[in-house]
Chain A
Amino acid sequence: MATSGLYPQTKVLSRSFDVKDGHTLAVARERGAYQALEKALKMTPAQLVDEVKKSRLRGRGGAGFPTGMKWSFVAKNTGKPTYLVLNADESEPGTFKDRYLMERDPHLVLEGCLITAWAIGASTIFVYIRGEYPRSIARMEKAMEEARAAGLVGKDILGSGFSCEAWVHPGAGAYICGEETGLLESIEGKRGHPRIKPPFPAVEGVFRCPTIINNVETLSHVPWIVLHGGDAFAKQGIAPDPANPRSNGTCGTKLMGVSGQVRTPGVWEFEPGITLRELVYGYGGGPLPGRKIKAVIPGGISMPVLLDHELDAKMGFDELVKAGSGLGTACAIVMDDSCDMVDASVNIAHFFAHESCGQCTPCREGCHWMEKVLHRIADGDGQPSDLDLLEGMFKSIEGRTICALADAAVWPVRSIVRKFRAEFLARMQPAPAPAGA
């Protein structure tokens, strides 16, 4: 519960979440929307890319790639149009932060897109929203309509001479379309089969044209960076580790969520520095009455689980990797001591088996096989050698596929099998009564 002594919230992206009618242009403008766009249109694209590089903004879609650097890769003078694609697929289980942004402050999202489009020279923005978000789709479409009527989208934006169109492209139920190249295929009206890279989308993306793809939360940071400068953004949060020249820190603010077996699930915004424990026990309200926390996945479902005694890591890109997991989408899923970890692993494995697009044999067959073996164990028909079988599968799946879905399937399951080995073995002994939760 939000009582004193909690790590403080810093509301930048979420500043209008609780404002009445904050999703309308009138209210958004009263609260300062599109001032950053006006300022940005007076800057050169190169200045903007520099400012974002300085900010150390890293992608919020899961991989944490430096945003300014990504923008600088966009192919120039190709004679083809450039596209900006906003990744609003948000199908990662346990993740709902982008939904808050699109439903409650769609003009912030759109402003971030328009500034980015100017910075990379894009003439069209496609906002790819998962089909299961009817309200986000409606709010974003409405925002685009309002902005178009106000001269903020379309020809000669704010009299600057810069023209840019913006459309929503709905998904239709496929986790893999969150993967950036699967998403591009889906915009082209195909099955969402990820592409082999290179060529990277910045060179050859949607409709074979240069394309930049960013997450909703990533681009929602851009207006603030434009108004306050990259240096101010880089001062917030966790600074890069001086001992590691490749570290980029976790700068700015970050939306973080908690769901699963806690008292008060939800989403909040912080300057990174909060620990996973403070997030789960503080804002998340801790375990349900009479329960103890057993395992937590810090970001979505695709990262390894951490045990209760491992929760003191800070919610940062490098910090959680050091702790043996990853920041992912920074929306934690909490399991308490009523949760049977064998069953949880079946649930997770099923998700990935269901969502594999089927292009790569290790993923298509491996995810299914993994699920089947876990099922057998859950049904009480497993043998200790099944755990070795699983270990072998992890090796033959991880790192051998076109996209990272297969790795994402291995990580949580492998961590559960290793950290809760005893539970798996217990399930294998011939039990007199059917195994209970």
Chain B
Amino acid sequence: MTPPTGDERAVTRRDQNQAPARGTRGAGPEGAPPGARKGPAAPAAAAAPTDDVTKVAPPAPGATVRKSAPAAPKPPVPAAFPPPELRAECEALVARYPERQAALIPVLHLAQRRLGGWISPELEAGIAAWLGVPDQHVRGVLTFYTMFNTKPVGRHHVQVCRTLSCWLRGSKDLLGAIERKTGLRPGQTDAERKFTVTEVECLGLCEVAPALFVNDDAHVNLTPAAVEKLLDGCK
């Protein structure tokens, strides 16, 4: 088996927890956090540079980006939430629990799946306001769970399992094939937002390892050649 190298290690939950600029979206450590399942549709027109997801206070030219909170960033304008098409589903989710906050994770899933594949700061604020919980609480939850995207992701979100059973069956070779095909390493998105590549932990498909997900679809028993074919089929 190919030995793993440390270079492409995904950002860990601890890094996220302790990122120096936790409050400032996009100023976290390089490389997206291991990401979410959903993400069929990235905003159609957007072709912004991939790492810039900050709609909040883009750093002034020449300013030190690493330093957080010099001039307080403008709070995002909360998106109207829920949009009419999701209202019934959102209300039904809230009705299941004795406390509104408990619906947060199911609502975030729904929003991410149906509203563009990621949770923007505006959406985050909108959801917080609707559920009646502080923005910071939603931020805390968003950054804790790896399936929520706090940056836009590509139309095809390729999530490769890196954990032991898959690693033993050659998951590193799959990453090699993906890089050859797309030029992307884990944590990266291409400029057209066609692909995002993420390394994830065990997907519970260990008996058919190595495995990966493209958006919501599992692909198993893979070889590098099979992965290349799979990526060719992604339009």
Contacts and interface: CB of A to CB of B under 8 A. Distances in A.
Contacts of B207: 96, 257-259, 265-267
B208 interface: yes
Interface residues of B, number: 57
B141 interface: yes
Nearest to B16: A358
B142 to A, nearest CB: 9
A18 to B, nearest CB: 15
Given A207-B98, A207-B99, A354-B12, A301 B147 contact: no
Contact of A90 (B9, B108, B204): B204
Interface stretch (A32-40, A43-51, A181-189): A181-189
B3 to A, nearest CB: 5
Contacts of A343: 1, 3-4
B195 interface: no
A137 to B, nearest CB: 10
Determine the interface band of chain A, counting residues with CB < 8 A from chain B: 35 or more
B14 interface: yes
Interface in B194-224: 200-209, 213, 216, 218
A437 B146 contact: no
A191 B9 contact: no
B130 interface: no
Interface in B142-168: 144-148, 162-165, 167-168
Nearest to B105: A172
Contacts of B105: 169-172, 186, 189
Nearest to B110: A170
B9 A350 contact: yes
Interface string A284-297: 00000000000000
Interface of B: 1-4, 6, 9-10, 12-14, 17-18, 34, 36-37, 96-99, 101-106, 108-109, 131, 133, 137, 140-141, 144-148, 162-165, 167-169, 200-209, 213, 216, 218
Interface of A: 81, 90-96, 99, 130-135, 165, 167, 169-175, 186-192, 207, 257-261, 265-267, 301, 331, 333-335, 338-340, 343-344, 346-348, 350-351, 353-358, 364, 368, 375, 378-379, 435-437
10 contacts: A93-B206, A189-B141, A192-B144, A207-B98, A259-B165, A259-B207, A347-B167, A348-B164, A350-B162, A353-B12
